[in-house]
Structure 1
Amino acid sequence: MAYWIAAAALVVATLAGVPLGQPAAVAAATLVFIGGGLPHGAYDIALLRRSGALGRFGVRLAVGGYVAVALLMVTLWLTLPLVALALFLVVAAVHFGEDWQMLDEPLLRVAAGTAVIAAATIGHPAEVAALFVAMSDSRAAVIAQVVTAVAPVALLVTAVGIAAAWRDGGRSWASAMTLCFALLLILPPVAGFALFFVFLHSPRHLARTRAALRDMTAARWLGTGAMLSGLAIFGWWVVRTIVPSGLGPSATAQAFQLLASVAVPHLLLSRGLERRLSPDPSFRKSMPTP
């Protein structure tokens, strides 16, 4: 329901001529995707402990590895930003592809995940290229061109996934994704991404996480999400204070860099836990209701 309300609000704003690409609107969308998106990875350690896959020492080791991978990503942004950007886009494509479990072939899921980035790039090539450059350097414009080149295949695969979702009974998901891709083509990139990331992608993961951690009290659940998301933002602020020249010049570029820094360890851990946390085979095929 929240997705449809948010999508309708963006449609109305677009029809009314609200300048969603202006700095104030972009800043608001940035706050939405950071505030609404970071919490969906805040429960990774709790899920790891719940899985029973590791003992106490193993959990501590995994936490150390999680932090180390995040710090490695931060280091890449500071030293090799073009590599960090390319890695971020690959990780995003793989992670977003996890929403398309109705596609049996892993490469097809990655293509469908890529479509989220590709749709925005087709609709707003100059804006996406400028964002990539702000996150990295002038050479990043080539990466935007590469994404544009693979966009037709990615969108075709996604159309197959949407048809499969509709056929298998996930009509709400199929309808939501169809509208979302249309809006990714039309809306300014940050607004379109915020709609997808906060109102479609994150709720799916939060719902599954909440089911796995169902005995966690509501207060602890909210506190964990707020605390760990806040720690990620605070850690980024510390890095920005210490090494201000090595990060993106805009708040939006830095928000994406922060998201990338936590997305890589989140993906590695979530994929490792996938089988252990799936209660039955159909769970992997289930589709969320927006």
Structure 2
Amino acid sequence: MRRSFLATSLACVAAAAWLARLPDAAVWALTAVAVVAGGLPHGALDTRLARRTLGLDGAAPLVRFLALYVALAAAMALFFVTTPVAALVAFLTYAAVHFGRDWDARLSAAAVLGAVVVTAPAVRFEAEVAAIFTAMTGDGTAVAAALAALAPFAAGGALTVILLRRDAAAGVELGAYGMLALAVRPEIAFAVYFVLLHSPRHTREVCEALRLSTTDAARAAAPYAAAAALAGCAAAASWAGAGLAWDDAVARALFVGLACLTVPHMTLEMVTERPALASWARRVLVPSVERGEDGLGRRGTDEVMEARPATRR
């Protein structure tokens, strides 16, 4: 996982000149395939994680969970429709926290570390980042400029956190990502990080928590990942049919789709790591009439909570 990310990052830096000559259509096609095939499955395990950590025995609690999951994603989609620039800023903010949790579970530290992931591509490729944001919102120039301006502060804050924690591993990984983001187009840098570091790390944690093999995890995630991919393809085709350039349609479907899916994904992650929130969520999803007289159902609270992923450092 980590070695693959570091090796691929170095390879991309070395091949930056060649990658820069690739046609836009080819880059976006490869990015979309990589993110869908290698990135979406880690979030597609959310249903299995919720069933185990929240004790969602039976069909009715699972249906309630899926309904809430879809509702949160739909709310973010509506946010993008009504106020797209504000939705983009919100997405980048919670994405920074979510990605920063790859290295630190504390909210403040995660926000500082994850800010590097979000801002670094805009340092050299501000115009390209602005083009992606414009495809998502209609006008992303100001947001891209803001990220470029914030990038030095994000780097300084991350370096401070890393030095205080004496976390050499985080320093190496973020340093490699920084070099990658300065060398290649933002969609390539994001795909390498998302597919080779973020997604495998989360998948490993969930598999350990649920005692799943990689094969079982892939089998469990496949239907949900496929459904999300089909929805994204339909959205891209619809926007392209309405006159949006194909590259822009793919960019909008990919990143708006990730924005919508990250909201319920991150919410579940934070709920399962906090016993009080998990207990509350279980009471909402599994009413006492379904949990039985003892209010715990077929598994006790202790057993349910033991199944949650280990909290990051």
* Structure-1-length-normalised TM-score: 0.84
What are the Cα deviations for residues 183-232 of structure 1, in whole angstroms up to 9, with x where unaligned?
Answer: 11221111111111111111111110110111x45543212222211111
Find the aligned partners of 1:228 and 1:108 in 2 and give their Cα distance.
31
Q: Match for residue 42 of structure 2?
A: 40
Residue pair 2:103, 2:170 contacting (<8 A) in 1 also: no
Identity %: 31
Find the aligned partners of 2:71 and 2:183 in 1 and give their Cα distance.
38
Q: Match for residue 226 of structure 2?
A: 230
- Structure 1 residues 17 and 54 mapped into 2: Cα distance closer, same or farther (>3 Å)? closer
Find the aligned partners of 1:25 and 1:265 in 2 and give their Cα distance.
28
Residue pair 2:125, 2:185 contacting (<8 A) in 1 also: yes
How many residues of Structure 1 are paired with residues of Structure 2 in the alignment? 277
Find the aligned partners of 1:20 and 1:53 in 2 and give their Cα distance.
51
One-letter amino acid of the structure 2 residue matched with residue 86 of structure 1: V
Find the aligned partners of 2:238 and 2:28 in 1 and give their Cα distance.
26
One-letter amino acid of the structure 2 residue matched with residue 41 of structure 1: G
Instruction: Point out where structure 1 has 5 or more consecutive residues left out of the alignment.
Output: none
Higher CA-based Rg: 2
Alignment of 1:20-59 (within 5 A): 22-23=23-24, 24-54=26-56, 56=58, 57-59=60-62
Q: Match for residue 137 of structure 1?
A: 138
Find the aligned partners of 1:74 and 1:185 in 2 and give their Cα distance.
30
Find the aligned partners of 1:238 and 1:30 in 2 and give their Cα distance.
13
- Structure 1 residues 186 and 238 mapped into 2: Cα distance closer, same or farther (>3 Å)? closer
Residue pair 1:78, 1:247 contacting (<8 A) in 2 also: no
Q: CA RMSD in A?
A: 2.8
One-letter amino acid of the structure 2 residue matched with residue 234 of structure 1: L
Q: Match for residue 311 of structure 2?
A: 284
Query: Which deviates more, 156-165 or 256-265?
Result: 156-165
Query: Which deviates more, 70-79 or 146-155?
Result: 70-79
Find the aligned partners of 2:75 and 2:244 in 1 and give their Cα distance.
14
- 2:112 aligned with 1:116, yes or no? no
Alignment of 1:175-186 (within 5 A): 175-186=172-183
- 2:154 aligned with 1:154, yes or no? yes
Q: Match for residue 301 of structure 2?
A: none
Q: Which of 11, 14, 25 is matched with 1:12 structurally?
A: 14
Q: Match for residue 75 of structure 2?
A: 72
Give the Å deviation of 1:79: 3.8
Give the Å deviation of 1:67: 0.8
One-letter amino acid of the structure 2 residue matched with residue 154 of structure 1: A
Residue pair 2:69, 2:264 contacting (<8 A) in 1 also: yes
* Structure-2-length-normalised TM-score: 0.78
Give the Å deviation of 1:239: 4.4
Find the aligned partners of 2:262 and 2:177 in 1 and give their Cα distance.
22
Q: Match for residue 91 of structure 1?
A: 94
Find the aligned partners of 1:247 and 1:275 in 2 and give their Cα distance.
43
Find the aligned partners of 2:169 and 2:86 in 1 and give their Cα distance.
37
Report SS of the residue matched to 1:100.
Answer: coil
One-letter amino acid of the structure 2 residue matched with residue 148 of structure 1: A
Q: Match for residue 266 of structure 1?
A: 265
User: Runs (4+) of structure 1 moved beyond 6 Å?
Assistant: none
